[in-house]
Structure 1
């Protein structure tokens, strides 16, 4: 904790000029990762999705999510898959190529263009930190002393992936040698569509000291900020895996939001810094904050293969129980939290409260969520619609409708399907702001107030 505060205190003054101006509103975007491939430990490559199959996953997901704004970062798009050949990231995995294209890079660029039809920005999952000894850049990085070192002068190993040791890139020395800039410039030249995407994701982007160079973690963090600003100068937001307090103003989004505590959520609005989820493997984290302040849907663990029938139910559940609430709460002002532990209640503007003990979201006297039953406004759409989902089913359910429906007495009922999006069912009657109807379990519905 002391190091966290210390880093922020030292570096905060240098991040004020960043002004939190980003290309995307990450608080109103479903940000996810799509896993494509990884090296096979026995040799070769394990493919989860080709570029062509990835587009079909995106199309189906767009239907299921009713055109919600999306950013999808492609994991394992390069070389032989995920965590392969860093610090180089200058070619696409040939096994992901479309038959009609000459190169996999052409297929990657095609996917990025085509995905725009489905309210989706496709970008890349890269790594600015790791270096492997089979990389095309390895000899240069060793020769030019661009790898961090331990006190005894040995190269700093930070992990092992795909049966290879990962070494820490030295941010200061890489920057001063011009290799940070070279990597960024070369990738943008290879994939011009990145400039329109306006975002990129850096996995495991962590500052560490280089004792063998007498460089502190704070020094490395300063050069990490320089890299973020260089991406920004090229028109690209860079996002990260973990929350970093010293990158507030430089990075708008983190994949794992474990680093934020309750006070941080109240201090920094989602429009400044937000994230997809709280990693459940980090047991020391306050996981309840995900419900109190909203958490999104990772997507990556669910999209296993091209057959959507194998994962659509899991996606529907995770999406419906997380993303609409995340979008809804992110638009409100976070006022305060009362109570402690499991008795906490988060209070928002517009009469909204979130109770941890009751697992409810309430606006004034209307219940928008009661445990795993949600009737949440789809705030990203302009039709005043409401999502209705009941995990266990409600044979004789009664549901509150949003205040924005006014005095509407009828609503149009739709099923949400992965094949066709909204499929009209019938007109239903409302009485005093309530809807009474049978709801099938694990089935997503959408209702729009009738204009008649």
Structure 2
């Protein structure tokens, strides 16, 4: 009996000692990313953990803890998440932060934890998003030596729907089947920047001979592209209007077209002779019910779009940036509605959410561009090209919440954060041979895809530290991305796991090298030999078989601008 009480006393003392030795508390979430669109009803469960200096941990009852959650970054500063007991409930898209406060023996302990709500149908941080230019009718108002489109024999028929499928196949070969979205530019009659605000007429110049209409050809292309890991969708515009549009008279009658301060119609640009562009007011269009109508009609016209769950809105601006004025100075007057850029942004948010209600994410070009200061549509727009270089924003907002395509029109952008590509300029120059596509994919999209799966932990002394032991920095003048002694990038020599495929590495070199030794990544410890395939736009062909891996190292030789796929010997290449 004495032994029993002695053991009980020791147990009680150790239990109390653990509590008195509390060093810190931590918040644990079973789900740090919530997606109420793809997982309706999804919630996160919160636990509060006590930790001592020796690494011992125990649960602290939530009844003893004060919990709160606040929005960190979201368009409109909406409520991103709410608390209900130990449950974290997603409310709207954005970044939120949970705070826990616990008091014990006269000491206050606190902890914070970020949670991301991504109300998106697609994972844009794990998707290559491209644009394919189809055509542009008309004659340039002024010569533009930088415009390769009008250097073609027939700019109005740059790429037909049948030719587009050939592009899709070649791109799928070069990218080794990575998930892709391609937005078609100039798919409507007249090509790019024609017919707006109408979207109802598909360009007859692009149709296949075997189809009765161009609409049939467009729908065919969307269906066929799925076999090549590609979603085809449309590049549209919701701010421009043209006099030849079937909706022009209706929009004039309903006072939707923008006007200058004196109430007169004023063209904003005339890139093609006789083809004047005007703005419209999102707010006026929304209030009259026409915005919903044209969205609904497009989806009904091309039902295949809904399976892809994505649409691209070009130039989705809130004010006319060259003149730093409202879209419609006339309607911005208080007596005419007071529709300034802030009211237009409120309407834009409604447009984003209506598209979402209909089953679509909306991507765009640029954030913090032609919008009120700080408006990046976080939680509404899942992906953008021409991403801001603001390091603080990039460190705060994870890629899965606000993903990037190509970040700069020239060069590779900041390799530490990564940059994908757009492809449009390559397709315009030579859609048959795709010069430079493989290089951009391997030096930009490939490392970006890898880094985008990780958390950005800290930016110290120009080095970017990621979760999972990965760091990106300049070492001895070289651009390095590594995980310990596993090197993924050294300048434009890449050796990166193609994580969308099982057991595959893509290696690429801009200048080429002989007999370079590469450390194999985690998970390849049991691989003793590999097969190496050359990557081309016509498919992958076996280059070397059963190449030995010795002590975790692979000896590799690459020609200039050569890319290869590496898989365990005998594994069938997908």
- Specify if TM > 0.5: yes
Question: Could you tell me how far apart the structure 2 residues matched to 1:10 and 1:120 are?
Answer: 30
CA gap of 1:417–1:9, structure 2 versus 1, over 3 A, is: closer
Question: Could you tell me how far apart the structure 1 residues matched to 2:208 and 2:412 are?
Answer: 43
Check the 8 A contact 1:83/1:162 in 2, yes or no.
no
Question: Could you tell me how far apart the structure 2 residues matched to 1:99 and 1:451 are?
Answer: 43
Give 3-state SS (helix, strand or coil) of 1:328's partner: helix
Q: CA deviation at 1:407?
A: 4.1
**Does 1:77 pair with 2:187?**
yes
Question: Could you tell me how far apart the structure 1 residues matched to 2:509 and 2:430 are?
Answer: 27
In the alignment, structure 1 segments of 5+ residues that lack a partner are 1-7, 282-286
Give me the TM-score of the superposition, normalised by structure 1: 0.90
Question: Could you tell me how far apart the structure 1 residues matched to 2:214 and 2:176 are?
Answer: 30
The partner residue of 2:405 within 269, 272, 276 is: 276
Q: CA deviation at 1:48?
A: 1.4
Give 3-state SS (helix, strand or coil) of 1:57's partner: helix
Which one is further off, 245-254 or 267-276?
245-254
The partner residue of 1:128 within 226, 235, 238 is: 238
Residue of structure 2 in register with 1:11 after alignment: 76
**Does 1:338 pair with 2:451?**
no
Check the 8 A contact 1:45/1:81 in 2, yes or no.
no
Residue of structure 1 in register with 2:63 after alignment: none
Question: Could you tell me how far apart the structure 2 residues matched to 1:248 and 1:407 are?
Answer: 43
The partner residue of 2:492 within 355, 358, 372 is: 372
Residue of structure 2 in register with 1:197 after alignment: 308
Question: Could you tell me how far apart the structure 2 residues matched to 1:347 and 1:305 are?
Answer: 38
Residue of structure 2 in register with 1:220 after alignment: 344
The partner residue of 2:390 within 248, 258, 261 is: 261
Q: CA deviation at 1:42?
A: 6.9
Check the 8 A contact 2:182/2:232 in 1, yes or no.
yes
Larger RCO, structure (CA 8 Å, separation 6 or more): 1
Q: CA deviation at 1:390?
A: 1.0
Give me the TM-score of the superposition, normalised by structure 2: 0.72
CA gap of 1:95–1:436, structure 2 versus 1, over 3 A, is: same
Give the length in aligned residue pairs. 432
Check the 8 A contact 1:277/1:290 in 2, yes or no.
no
Check the 8 A contact 1:83/1:161 in 2, yes or no.
no
In the alignment, structure 2 segments of 5+ residues that lack a partner are 1-72, 81-90, 94-116, 142-153, 320-325, 334-338, 369-374
Residue of structure 1 in register with 2:255 after alignment: 145
Give 3-state SS (helix, strand or coil) of 2:478's partner: coil
CA gap of 1:20–1:108, structure 2 versus 1, over 3 A, is: same
Residue of structure 1 in register with 2:135 after alignment: 37
Q: Give deviations 1:329-369, integer Å, cap 9, x for gaps.
A: 00011011122xxxx21110111111145211111122111
Q: CA deviation at 1:45?
A: 5.3
Question: Could you tell me how far apart the structure 1 residues matched to 2:299 and 2:79 are?
Answer: 26
- Structure number, greater radius of gyration: 2
Q: CA RMSD in A?
A: 2.2
